[in-house]
Amino acid sequence: MTDSPSNESTPQESPAPAETAESVPTEKVLKGVDVIADHVKRLPMGPGVYRMLGEDGTVLYVGKARSLKKRVSSYTRLQGQSNRIARMIMATAAMEFVVTNTEPEALLLEANLIKRLRPRFNVLLRDDKSFPYILISGDHQAPAIIKHRGARKRKGSYFGPFASAGAVDRTINALQKAFLIRNCSDSYYENRSRPCLMYQIKRCSGPCTGEISGDDYARLVDEAQSFLSGKSQLIKQELAAQMAEASENLDFERAAIYRDRLAALSHTQAHQGINPQNTEEADVFAIHQEGGQSCVQVFFFRTGQNWGNRAYFPKADKDMSEASILESFLAQFYDDKPAPRLVLLSHQVGEQEVLAEALTARAEKRVEVLHPQRGEKKELVKHALTNAREALGRRLAETSSQRRLLDGLAEAFELPAAPKRIEVYDNSHIMGTNAVGGMIVAGTEGFSKGQYRKFNIKSEDLVPGDDYGMMREVLTRRFSRLKKEHPRVATPVANLEANEGDEDTPDNILASDDIPAWPDLVIVDGGQGQLTAARETLESLELTDIPLVGIAKGPDRDAGREKFFKPGQQAFMLPERDPVLYFIQRLRDEAHRFAIGSHRARRKKDITKNPLDEIAGVGPTRKRALLSHFGTAKAVSKAGIDDLSAVPGISEAIAKLVYDHFHE
């Protein structure tokens, strides 16, 4: 994102100390340089986005440029380039380009492509979980104020982001006191015949039973929206004026209501830790580097309140500067989030004006990006920087502790080295029904939930409750696919941290430098029988070098008395208070939790499944018509063709289709 290539390229892996641009083999260098030089001849001088591709079509790097021709031509010279850029040039086998109208447009497209493609040589925003928002609904005559997370599809006004669900709950609680807006569901609202408890404790104005007129309730909603939009001082002034007017008219009861609402607003703004006095709306970013890792701390300020903070640990090369990492991080961060009117940074970034222009275009309001030097804004950045430093310190300490546990695990199970990827397998079912196999993954940074997998047991030949057969199916499917998508000689280059997925997510997008594609240790929840089933399965796939361990619960299922099984060895136990034992218990319990959760979700889905859902040609509208006419799916299944044809919207052909489905 800067004109200097040395500041914009970010590899996943650190180069070997002896590697330099000058020591790159000539034939490989010429290949990369020649490919790039060939494209330069046909490139325009205008702005755009370029992608560097490897031999297998994998996207290595995504960049943007004010002038495509000038930027890409800089990669045709190896002199003075850093090691990581030399490796990137060396690996480039093809390039793709998108021409844009403006540089801010190119910046936004670059951020979108980086988040979607996860190129190995870019700064990658990790742990990008969704943020919660406050929603004031717009699809009901009496809008509600509710917590919302996920796609913003429901009609209404969204305010946020908040750093945590707890921050949303506290804010909604305070806003209910101040504006008396309901937070009940629409169905609960429609079925009220008298005011609920929230009205009695003065958290709601009671629109459900007409305790407040529609116009007065709409006025309260408008005030709440204005407050959340940053007009908090104006709302407080209006409430103070209304309180004074009511007092002058000797309407002390009404004046007391305004007094309580003012007190609630003051509490909202005062009870948030650090709060700015002159900054209504801002996001504050601060970055700190240490030990080869980086932490970006983000604070959200809205309506003069601290709406919480969140720490990010972007994946970047160790020799990247803090400003370069922060610059790449910002565009990706705002790719799917609304930007506030003010963005404060701990470092001066290279293309601050371009970033501000891009955010302004996306937000459709003026957005400033500043690196403050004095005053309150400087103090906010300083506070965020302190939190970034402390968060990174905690992470480094946790990583060190995790590595010690992995070293202890290697010693306990006689592994050649500390494992970088541990896979733990468990099954869950009830009398063989809704059987699910679960796989969890742990590495040097703890659990990697983006790589968890669930396996719906599909084999029809299994005897219900055959745990050994389930384990064979899970391991066969897992490692057959792994052999196909990640041959043992291949080096994984992709890095995608997604949400917990199922077995249909390709494994070739799950490998990373931190956690390799192939496990260094496989643990199965079970004793000698499960271990034998696992060993035979791997042997049938010609995989005999993967360490296998079975863990069986102790007598009376006592934690701390587990027995461990390894092929060709006697069962053994670890000392009761050994930290490694506690670590293995955590792995086992996490696998158990994930498998049971997947089983319960599948069982719930089957319980709520309607037989009409399985009939091709019967969609939601026809299903509603049938259920409205007959009452239940069971009654539909017993109806004749003539009765089915009598339902509005059901033709004779559809009626015969439904009848045949239930009368095969």
520-572 pLDDT, tens digit per residue, is 999 998 889 899 999 999 999 999 889 999 998 866 555 667 889 999 888 88
DSSP string, 351-383: THHHHHHHHHHHHTS--EEE---SHHHHHHHHH
Using CA atoms, how far apart are residues 445 and 539, in angstroms rounded to an integer?
Answer: 30
pTM tops 0.85: no
Rounded-to-integer distance, Cα 62 and Cα 117, Å: 9
Among positive and negative, which fits the CA dihedral 33, 34, 35, 37?
positive
> Are 50 and 74 within 8 A, CB to CB?
no
- Higher-confidence residue of 539 and 336: namely 539
Residue 107 has pLDDT above 60, yes or no: yes
DSSP 38-104: HHHTT--SS-EEEEEE-TTS-EEEEEEESSHHHHHHGGG--TT--HHHHHHHHH--EEEEEE-SSHH
Question: Is the pLDDT score of 498 beyond 50?
Answer: no
Are 303 and 279 spatial neighbours (Cβ–Cβ below 8 Å)?
A: no
What CA–CA distance (Å, rounded) separates 101 from 66? 10
Nearest of 406, 443, 425 to residue 550 by alpha carbon: 425
Residue written as token pair 């104006």: 234
pLDDT value of residue 15? 38
How far, in Å, are 219, 293, 622, 641 from residue 618 at the CA level? 45, 55, 6, 15
For residues 435 and 480, the model is more confident at: 480
551 with 523: CB under 8 angstroms? yes
Task: Taking residues 228-239, report their average pLDDT.
Answer: 69
The count of residues in the chain is 664
Q: What pLDDT score does 632 carry? A: 79
Rounded-to-integer distance, Cα 149 and Cα 533, Å: 42
| 176-223 pLDDT tens trace | 887 888 988 888 888 888 888 888 888 898 899 888 888 889 988 888
pLDDT value of position 664: 64
Higher pLDDT, 162 or 423: 423
For residue 645, the one-letter residue type is S
pLDDT at 298 over 50: yes
Q: Out of 4-13, 23-32, 599-608, 621-630, which region has the weakest mean confidence (pLDDT)?
A: 4-13
Please report the pLDDT score of residue 19 as a whole number: 40
Q: What is the mean pLDDT of the chain?
A: 80
pLDDT at 421 over 80: yes
Token pair listed for 197: 């408890």
Which pLDDT does position 478 carry in this prediction?
Answer: 93
Structure tokens at 230: 């940053």
112-166 pLDDT per residue, tens: 888 888 888 888 876 656 778 888 888 888 899 888 887 778 888 888 777 777 7
> Do the Cβ atoms of 331 and 362 come closer than 8 Å?
no
> Phi, psi (5° rounding) for residue 590?
-65, -40
Residue 559: the pLDDT is: 62
Query: For residue 132, what pLDDT is reported?
Result: 85
What value does the mean pLDDT take over residues 328-350?
Answer: 87
pLDDT at 22 over 70: no
Query: What CA–CA distance (Å, rounded) separates 433 from 611?
Result: 18
Whole-number pLDDT of residue 499: 40
pLDDT band at 276 (very low <50, low <70, confident <90, very high): low
Measured in whole angstroms, how far is the alpha carbon of residue 288 from the centre of its chain? 22
* 507 pLDDT tier (thresholds 50, 70, 90): very low
Question: Distance (Å, rounded) from C-alpha 214 to C-alpha 221?
Answer: 11
pLDDT at 274 over 60: no
Alpha-carbon distance of 341 to 360, in angstroms, equals 9
Q: Which of 144, 154, 43 is nearest to 99 (CA)?
A: 43
Type and span of the H or E element at 208: none
354-389 tens-digit pLDDT: 888 888 888 888 888 999 988 888 988 998 998 898
For strand 342-345 and strand 282-290, is the pairing parallel, antiparallel, or unpaired? parallel
Residue where the block lists tokens 């799950």: 510
Can you name the residues that pair with 301 across neighbouring β-strands? 282, 306
426-476 tens-digit pLDDT: 988 776 677 889 999 998 888 888 889 999 888 777 777 788 888 999 999
Taken in order of first residue, the domains within the chain and their CATH numbers are 5-117 (3.40.1440.10), 132-270 (no CATH), 282-394 (3.30.420), 414-605 (3.30.420.340), 611-662 (1.10.150.20)
Beta bridge mates, 441: 423
Q: What is the pLDDT of residues 610-655, one digit of tens each?
A: 677 777 778 888 888 888 888 777 788 888 888 888 888 888 888 8
User: Does the pLDDT at position 248 exceed 80?
Assistant: no
Say what the pLDDT of residue 29 is. 45
Question: What confidence score (pLDDT) does residue 480 get?
Answer: 92
Percent of the chain with pLDDT over 90: 13
Residue 428 bridge partners (DSSP)? 436
**Looking at residue 523, what is its pLDDT?**
93
Distances 339 to 116, 281, 330, 360, 370 between C-alpha atoms, Å: 20, 10, 10, 8, 14
CB contact at 8 A, 552 and 526: yes
9 pLDDT band, cuts 50/70/90, is very low
Number of H helices, E strands in the chain: 21, 18
The DSSP symbol for 14 reads P
